[in-house]
Amino acid sequence: MLRYTLRRIVLLIPVLVGLSLLVFTISHLLPGDPVKLAAGPQATQADIDSLARELGMDKPLPVQYWNYATGLVRGDWGQSVLTRRPVWDDLKVFLPATLELVFAALAFAVIVGIPAGLLSGVYANRWPDYLSRVVSLGAISMPRFFLGLILQLVFAMALGWLPLGGRFPIIDEPPPALTGFLTIDALAAGQFGAFWVALQHLAMPAIAMSLSPLATITRMMRASTIEVLQQDYVLTERALGLSQKLIVFKYVLKNAMTSSLTVIGLYVGWLLGGTVLVETVFDWPGIGLYATKAIVSQDFMPVMGVTLAIGTIFILSNLVVDLLYGLLNPKVRYE
């Protein structure tokens, strides 16, 4: 397992280098001049040239990429042209909020979707299966922003059970920052009241984001369960008189989860890149809104930082999926 893990980690290096090169190239091919925009409408050409030299954007592109790549290794992700703030400092503020939202949505989808898909596969073409089909079809068909608005109207406006938006009340003092995840920070500080408040703010946006992966995971788990139940070793276990409960939870569940792992890994990147609408509806201070503002102002350093951060997290999530494959299926380790 150690050799398998090291091999997967080594393969990440060229992927990360290629990602940084691709992000840098695309960002510099976009139309517009961010230096001129940052200098202001009244700036002279001399002012623009001076600002370009200050930001290092007067050098050839290969030199700019080398400076950017070496800066990444040192932890320097560049500087916003408009705000003059380091991109890394902004990411440390906005990225944890988005990650907390994405992980909460994915956790809800996995906790509900895998048992639902397993139950649907075991009772195929019976009422649990029909119910899961209807719910999955409705969940995957509904846009996230529309579901978010419905949740706000019902649970915030009509019933008053949950807050309308935001991540934490402005008038309250948030828990001491430890991980950037308010729920974890509140538990670490022993502030259970703050944890409950943060969880209430997290509930609706997480549910709005979770329905699409929930439906996909449920359907994938159902198909895998039906396929595994038809394998010879399962039929042999039934012939030996093993109970249905033992067969399902000891043998079927483990082998049926492999295909669902791929979907879960892919949804990490998909959710990270698609948080803009949900963050806008719920006024959630994450990288979606941060990246949108940077794109509108043609500030490509924050755009590069957000894209590189999402790509890196997506690559690492697939590494975790590969390692879980190795644990669930020992044959994969020797491929």
% of the chain exceeding 70 in pLDDT: 87
Q: List pLDDT tens digits, range 62-86.
A: 877 887 788 787 877 877 777 778 8
Number of domains making up the chain? 1
* Model confidence band, residue 262 (pLDDT cutoffs 50, 70, 90): confident
Residue 125, by phi and psi: left (phi above 0), alpha (psi -120 to 50) or beta? left
Q: Which residues contact 42 (CB under 8 A, 6 or more apart)?
A: none
Is residue 98 in a domain? yes
Tell me, yes or no, whether 30 lies in a domain.
no
pLDDT exceeds cutoff 80 at 41: no
Residue 166 structure tokens: 């935001």
User: Is residue 42 one of the residues assigned to a domain?
Assistant: no
What's the whole-model pTM score?
0.80
**Does any domain span residue 49?**
no
CA atoms within 13 A on the CB side of 240: 9
The Cα–Cα gap between 66 and 76 comes to 13
User: What are 228's strand-pairing partners?
Assistant: none
Per-residue pLDDT at 76: 79
Q: For residue 81, is it within any domain?
A: no
Residue ranges making up the domain that contains 110:
88-334
59 in helix, strand or coil?
coil
Q: What Cα–Cα distance (Å) separates residue 320 from each residue in 6, 260, 266, 268?
A: 12, 13, 11, 11
Is residue 275 one of the residues assigned to a domain? Answer: yes
Distance, in Å, from the CA atom of 44 to the CA atom of 273, rounded to the nearest integer, reads 38
Chain center to CA of 307: 12
Say what the pLDDT of residue 25 is.
Answer: 80
Q: Specify the CATH number for the domain of residue 326.
A: 1.10.3720.10
Residue 301 falls within a domain, yes or no? Answer: yes
Backbone φ and ψ of 103, nearest 5°:
-65, -35
How confident is the model over 17-41, as a mean pLDDT? 71
Interhelix angle 300-328/287-296, nearest 10 degrees: 140
Is the Cβ–Cβ distance between 215 and 109 less than 8 Å? no
Predicted confidence at residue 334, as pLDDT, reads 55
Average pLDDT of the chain is 81
**Is 228 contained in some domain?**
yes
pLDDT at 293: 79
**DSSP string for residues in 205-228:** HHHHHHHHHHHHHHHHHHHHHHHH
pLDDT of residue 196: 92
Are 120 and 129 a contacting pair, CB within 8 Å? yes
| CA angle, residues 21, 288, 272, in degrees to nearest 5 | 70
Q: Is 54 a residue whose pLDDT tops 80?
A: no
179 pLDDT more than 60: yes
pLDDT band at 89 (very low <50, low <70, confident <90, very high): confident
Question: Are the C-beta atoms of residues 286 and 101 closer than 8 Å to each other?
Answer: yes
What pLDDT does 256 receive? 81
Residue whose token pair is 């899961």: 132
Q: Tell me which residue has tokens 């794109």.
A: 295
